[in-house]
Structure 1
Amino acid sequence: MFNTKKKVLAIAGVATVAALALAGCSSSSSLSGGSGSSAKESIVVGSANFSENTILAQIYGQALAADGFKVSYKPNIGARAVYFPALEKGTVDLIPEYSGSILSFVDKSAVATSPDDVNAALAKALPSTVVAYQSAEAADSDSLNVTAEFAKTHSLKSIGDLKNAGPITVAANPEFETRPDGLPALKSLYGLDNITFQAINDSGGPATLKALLDNTVQVADIYSTTPSIEENKLVTLTDPKNQFASQQVIPLVNKKKASSKVEAVLNKVSAKLTTKDLLALNAEVSGDKKTEPDVAAKDWLKSAGLVK
């Protein structure tokens, strides 16, 4: 069970970022519409050190604030190896996670790939101090993409359809060539013997996109919430055999702050959040608009009817 982007983040700047983020430099936030109680329960919401996770932290945090909780934030904590122990200890009370990645972190032997299997395995594998609530439909995982023209020409909808597309070249990070869920799975799981591999080491970034649009390669591994997918009208091939482990967004909460009220608020958010929403939010924050994560989160919550 692999997710290269999350692995890169997991080793980046651990010591420096952790020292800053866990030193107690947090900010508070609340929305109108809360209970107005003078004894609000406090919740500290943390995030990993990349934009999408910061947006998710704001979404879950602002939903709690709107329901009367006193919410503060510790954004950009850094690596999973830093923020997960903080969650276990209660230095941070809530972290938005990705189901497959956190499962492989807490259980190195995990083999589950489908959404239901991953969630079930995660519930068993988490330490007793951490609770997982409902996962969202929204997911940020490896995805195989083709141009709209190529999809139309070869009637492509799923990964398995590539078998009838003639000789094709797949672009991905170098490790995809040997990863169990990479090239080997395309051959063993989907029976694709018509593929060659081209390593492009930018995690589905500009160089990979250029190669795909130029038809240097016909298939590209691009993370599913990358704005370039929508911007270039790429077609993401479905993965009915679960080659790639599910990476659904899932809120994790320290058990001391877990309650039916917290669960109800977070589950309402997860029930509304889709991969398409994440794509749009990422584009808004990282694209030309450069919207601040808290503003983008508030706008989404309003549009979803979760806050006023």
Structure 2
Amino acid sequence: MRRFALALLVIGVLSGCGLEAGGSVPLRVGPASIRPMAQLDGVRITVGSKDFTEQNILGYLIEFALTAAGAQVRDLTNITGSNSLRDAQLHGQVDVAYDYTGTGWINYLGNETPIPDSDGQFRAVHDADLAAHGMLWADMAPMNNTYALVTTAATGVTRLSDYARLVDSDPNAANTCLGTEFSVRQDGFPGMARKYGIDAGRARKQIMQDALVFTAVANGTCRFGSVAATDGRIQALHLKLLDDDLGFFPKYNAALVLRKSFADAHPQIAEIMAPISRLLTNETIIGLNRQVDVDGREPAEVARDWLVARGFVTAR
């Protein structure tokens, strides 16, 4: 199947911290319940995302919605890594993107202790990032893309506390595949190991691309693996989420992120995206992710068709 040009195929020429690449929106859409707005007519808006399925889908939702409203949208989806997207937003190369509240609180703002409920975490990151960096978090979605460990039913392990004991008693039986970012992030394996008393040096780990973890666990290469909890491959491959019984992993609700100056100049963006964000439940995003990662559809097609089905835009 033809691959749409995902705007930053690490052509991502870096100029200082800036990204000097971009492309047009990959599919044409027209207005439906989202109507053209005079205030956005011809306004140049660059939309970004990170480089995994869910983020690409979320980026395209923004792009198609703002295109239907009359904006001149530039596609910078598929940026490699959270920090690269963050730098692009701070330096004005990306105007709007969906990001995750836990990522903002811990990775961008340097906090070590997450807020235990979604609303509280959103308010905390909203207030702190606005004060420190002039970044506005808006339109939090119900979806919570938290980290998790998965296994198969054959291991009999159901909780992270049980996994920690297995690492201590029989490291080979707890062989774990870790995604690249998860292996080093403080809201990933290092922090989880501290919370659960895991000797990280004793744990048997394999570091790999996130997309490879699912099949590695399903086919027995690893007995456990790190995943995002809203990934459609968890259900498709009959994997089991381990219960985070000590409540380590932060809330990762998706929310729209913009520079406050840009949001103030174009308040219509938040107005357009709010009803879309409200519909993004875990069930919804798992279904959208599965269409890409299991059924082989393109993220842009999946995002557009979902918006069409709900009457936000029309396909052209």
Q: Same fold (TM over 0.5)?
A: yes
- Aligned to 1:44, the other structure's residue is in SS state strand
2: distance between equivalents of 1:136 and 1:269?
8
Paired residue for 2:61? 59
- Aligned to 1:74, the other structure's residue is in SS state strand
- Aligned to 2:248, the other structure's residue is in SS state coil
Gaps of 5+ in 1: 1-11
2: distance between equivalents of 1:105 and 1:40?
32
2: distance between equivalents of 1:46 and 1:271?
20
Is residue 185 from structure 1 mapped to residue 185 from structure 2 by the alignment?
Answer: no
- Aligned to 1:31, the other structure's residue is in SS state strand
User: CA 1:163/1:205 → structure 2, altered by over 3 Å: closer, same or farther?
Assistant: same
Is residue 268 from structure 1 mapped to residue 275 from structure 2 by the alignment?
Answer: yes
User: CA 1:283/1:138 → structure 2, altered by over 3 Å: closer, same or farther?
Assistant: same
User: CA 1:250/1:18 → structure 2, altered by over 3 Å: closer, same or farther?
Assistant: farther
Q: Which amino acid aligns with 2:35?
A: S
- Aligned to 2:40, the other structure's residue is in SS state coil
Task: Using the TM superposition, give the Cα deviation of residue 136 of structure 1 relative to its aligned residue in structure 2, in angstroms.
Answer: 1.8
Count of residue correspondences: 283
2: distance between equivalents of 1:206 and 1:25?
27
Tell me if structure 2 keeps the 8 A contact 1:14–1:79.
Answer: no
Output one character per residue of 1:98-146: Cα deviation in whole Å (capped at 9) or x when no partner. 2222323332234225333432331122145321013223233321223
User: Which of 230, 233, 237 does residue 232 from structure 1 map onto?
Assistant: 237
User: Which of 234, 242, 250 does residue 255 from structure 2 map onto?
Assistant: 250
User: CA 1:303/1:112 → structure 2, altered by over 3 Å: closer, same or farther?
Assistant: same
Task: Using the TM superposition, give the Cα deviation of residue 243 of structure 1 relative to its aligned residue in structure 2, in angstroms.
Answer: 1.1
2: distance between equivalents of 1:280 and 1:239?
23
2: distance between equivalents of 1:286 and 1:270?
22
1: distance between equivalents of 2:289 and 2:305?
13
User: CA 1:143/1:55 → structure 2, altered by over 3 Å: closer, same or farther?
Assistant: same
TM-score, normalised via structure 2 length: 0.71
Paired residue for 1:7? none
Q: Which moved more, 1:78-87 or 1:221-230?
A: 78-87
TM-score, normalised via structure 1 length: 0.72
User: CA 1:106/1:204 → structure 2, altered by over 3 Å: closer, same or farther?
Assistant: closer
Paired residue for 2:119? 116
2: distance between equivalents of 1:292 and 1:37?
29
2: distance between equivalents of 1:143 and 1:169?
15
Tell me if structure 2 keeps the 8 A contact 1:147–1:213.
Answer: no
User: Which of 125, 137, 146 does residue 141 from structure 1 map onto?
Assistant: 146
1: distance between equivalents of 2:147 and 2:298?
26
2: distance between equivalents of 1:93 and 1:30?
21
Paired residue for 1:284? 291
Paired residue for 2:106? 104
Output one character per residue of 1:178-224: Cα deviation in whole Å (capped at 9) or x when no partner. 94432332348xxxx9xx8431222565466445554963x433232
Q: Which amino acid aligns with 2:128?
A: A
Task: Using the TM superposition, give the Cα deviation of residue 276 of structure 1 relative to its aligned residue in structure 2, in angstroms.
Answer: 3.5
User: CA 1:204/1:297 → structure 2, altered by over 3 Å: closer, same or farther?
Assistant: closer
Q: CA RMSD in A?
A: 3.9
Tell me if structure 1 keeps the 8 A contact 2:56–2:299.
Answer: yes
Paired residue for 2:74? 73
1: distance between equivalents of 2:60 and 2:15?
19
- Aligned to 1:47, the other structure's residue is in SS state strand
User: CA 1:205/1:130 → structure 2, altered by over 3 Å: closer, same or farther?
Assistant: closer
User: CA 1:163/1:257 → structure 2, altered by over 3 Å: closer, same or farther?
Assistant: closer
Task: Using the TM superposition, give the Cα deviation of residue 97 of structure 1 relative to its aligned residue in structure 2, in angstroms.
Answer: 1.1
Tell me if structure 2 keeps the 8 A contact 1:301–1:307.
Answer: yes
Paired residue for 2:35? 35
2: distance between equivalents of 1:255 and 1:79?
23
1: distance between equivalents of 2:302 and 2:53?
11
- Aligned to 2:63, the other structure's residue is in SS state helix
